[in-house]
Every structure is written in C-alpha cells, then in structure tokens.
C-alpha cells in the first residue's frame, strides 16, 4: 500500500513538472522583445478611459505585451502598469505616471498564488459585476496583488455576431458556449444589445494571476479561499498543477504562458483593473 502511495506521489510530481515545462515552452515574456520595460504607478487611473484604445493600437503595431496590476495593502489600493517604457512615457501626461522599483520580490513561503479564469464566458461577458466588491479585509502587512497580462488582438469578441447564419456556425467549436449564448439572447433580448456594443470594442488576450502575501499560514489559507471566487463567482481559481512559487515566478516575469487566453474587451479591462464599475 505504501509503495503504491509513493508511486502515486512520484507520478503527480512528474506530471506537474511536465505541465510546468510545457507552459514555459509557450511562455511570452515582455522583456524578450528587446526593448526596455518599466513599472509605473498610475496616479490618474481614470485617464485609461481615454487612452486604452490608443494603447491597444500601439501595442498591436509594435507586437508588445503589457500588464496592469491592482495592489491592495491593508485598506489601501493602487494601480500600476508594467509595459514598454517609451510608450508609457508618451502617455504619462494623461496617466500621471510615477516610475517604481520592483515590489514583487517576496519570500515564496509567505505567498499563495493562483491563476484566474471564468466558469461561464457567456455570463462573464454579458452580466454586470464589480470585481473587487466584497473583498475580505486585509490585516496590516498583508497584501493582495491582481495581475492582468494583455496581448492585443485584431478580431472582435464574437466574430460574425450579426451574421444571418445559425449561431452555432459563428463563434467557434464550443457547442456548450454557443448554446448558452443563444439561450441568453432568446430569453433576454437586451443582452444582444450589450453583445453588439462589446463587439465594437478593442480586444485583448488576457492572463490573470492573483497573489496573497501574509506571514500567517492560517490567514493565507482562509483569505485565499475567499479570494478564489470574485465578481460573484464569475472569476474563479483555475485548477492548475503549479505551485505558488512557480506562479509567483511567472507573475514577476509578467509573462503570458497560454497561447489562447481569456478574451477581454477594452471595457472589461477597465472593469477588471477597478477603473470603472457597473
């Protein structure tokens, strides 16, 4: 019995290592572009409403990634951005940027880190929610970091949304996703209007990571459990076989490690960074 248990643990460890290596093979790092990247505090986050589409166009043209990070410490919160230095400096008059030193170099033993995704993409894109509403209180010295790595894309959220063909022919191969979309449009016609509006916005492939820093292991367990379901359960912890230390490493690199990630519109980026609320 002990032999089988040992073999099972070895298999799990090898599987996790192979999965992590596979993820690293797909990894895109901002600094691999060969241009200087910098970290800035955004002192005027509301200006993102004005510049988010300009940012999308510049990143798409130059082929670069960018990361927005909402940081919580105790009762305080701030929004920072990590991106191409020269591009961000051009936007500084609007965003009122302040260059920062790296903050994310912490003891991995004091960290719980995870990746974030959606249970239901249809309701995520069409329902109203405030991502940081009802966050658990943090004690002095505790921190919560929320990172969104973005890669601009050319296409709309739902290609051919207005086509006269059947909806099952429109958006891809996931039949459950499409049937849910069709059902929501049938029962709630007003949602079609939201879909059409979002389809006119710029889009990004996104990867979301969350990090909780606490000296107290029980607090890390309890608080991370509360943070694992945000936006009324629309954003959830993904069941990935990676350790917190591995995800923290990817967080520090601001890398995008999935070839196909969650697609966000410009409006959704602003919502998920806490700049706008429903």
Q: What is the pLDDT of residue 7?
A: 37
Rg of the Cα atoms in the chain: 20
Q: What is the pLDDT of residue 17?
A: 42
Q: How confident is the model at residue 32 (pLDDT cuts 50, 70, 90)?
A: low
Q: For residues 93 and 89, give the distance between their C-alpha atoms in angstroms, rounded to a whole number.
A: 8
Q: What is the mean pLDDT of residues 176-191?
A: 72
The predicted model scores a pTM of 0.83
Question: Does 197 score more than 50 pLDDT?
Answer: yes
Q: How confident is the model at residue 22 (pLDDT cuts 50, 70, 90)?
A: very low
Question: Does 150 score more than 90 pLDDT?
Answer: yes
Q: How confident is the model at residue 183 (pLDDT cuts 50, 70, 90)?
A: confident
Question: Does 40 score more than 90 pLDDT?
Answer: yes
Q: What is the pLDDT of residue 98?
A: 98
Question: Does 234 score more than 60 pLDDT?
Answer: yes
As given in the structure block, the two tokens for residue 235 are 């954003």
Q: How confident is the model at residue 10 (pLDDT cuts 50, 70, 90)?
A: very low
As given in the structure block, the two tokens for residue 119 are 């249970």
Q: How confident is the model at residue 199 (pLDDT cuts 50, 70, 90)?
A: confident
Q: For residues 157 and 199, give the distance between their C-alpha atoms in angstroms, rounded to a whole number.
A: 5
Residue (of 15, 63, 67, 18) closest to 39 by Cα position? 67
Q: What is the mean pLDDT of residues 5-25?
A: 41
* Residues 6+ away with beta carbon under 8 Å from 156: 199, 200, 201, 203
Q: What is the mean pLDDT of residues 56-66?
A: 95
Question: Does 166 score more than 70 pLDDT?
Answer: no
**pLDDT of 78-124, one tens digit each?**
999 999 999 999 999 999 999 999 999 999 999 999 999 988 787 88
Question: Does 33 score more than 80 pLDDT?
Answer: no
Question: Does 29 score more than 70 pLDDT?
Answer: no
Q: How confident is the model at residue 174 (pLDDT cuts 50, 70, 90)?
A: low
Q: What is the mean pLDDT of residues 214-242?
A: 90
Question: Does 158 score more than 50 pLDDT?
Answer: yes
Q: What is the mean pLDDT of residues 185-199?
A: 81
């Amino acid at each position: 019995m002990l032999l089988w248990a040992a073999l099972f643990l070895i298999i799990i460890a090898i599987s996790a290592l192979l999965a992590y290596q596979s993820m690293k093979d797909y990894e895109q790092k901002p600094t691999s572009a060969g241009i200087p990247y910098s970290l800035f505090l955004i002192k005027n986050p509301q200006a993102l409403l004005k510049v988010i589409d300009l940012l999308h166009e510049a990143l798409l043209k130059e082929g670069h990634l960018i990361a927005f990070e909402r940081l919580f410490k105790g009762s305080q919160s701030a929004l920072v951005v990590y991106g191409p230095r020269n591009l961000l400096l051009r936007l500084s008059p609007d965003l009122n940027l302040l260059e920062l030193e790296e903050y994310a170099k912490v003891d991995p033993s004091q960290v719980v880190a995870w990746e974030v995704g959606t249970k239901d993409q249809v309701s995520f894109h069409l329902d109203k929610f405030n991502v940081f509403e009802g966050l658990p209180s943090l004690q002095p010295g505790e921190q919560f970091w929320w990172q969104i790595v973005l890669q601009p894309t050319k296409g709309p959220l739902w290609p051919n949304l207005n086509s006269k063909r059947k909806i099952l022919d429109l958006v891809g191969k996931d039949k459950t996703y499409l049937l849910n979309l069709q059902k929501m449009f049938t029962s709630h016609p007003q949602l079609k209007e939201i879909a059409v509006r979002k389809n006119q916005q710029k889009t990004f492939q996104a990867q979301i990571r969350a990090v909780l820093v606490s000296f107290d292991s029980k607090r890390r367990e309890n608080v991370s459990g509360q943070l694992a379901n945000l936006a009324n359960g629309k954003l959830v912890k993904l069941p990935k076989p990676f350790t917190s230390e591995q995800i923290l490493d990817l967080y520090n690199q601001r890398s995008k490690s999935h070839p196909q990630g969650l697609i966000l519109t410009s409006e959704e980026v602003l919502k998920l960074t806490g700049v706008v609320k429903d």
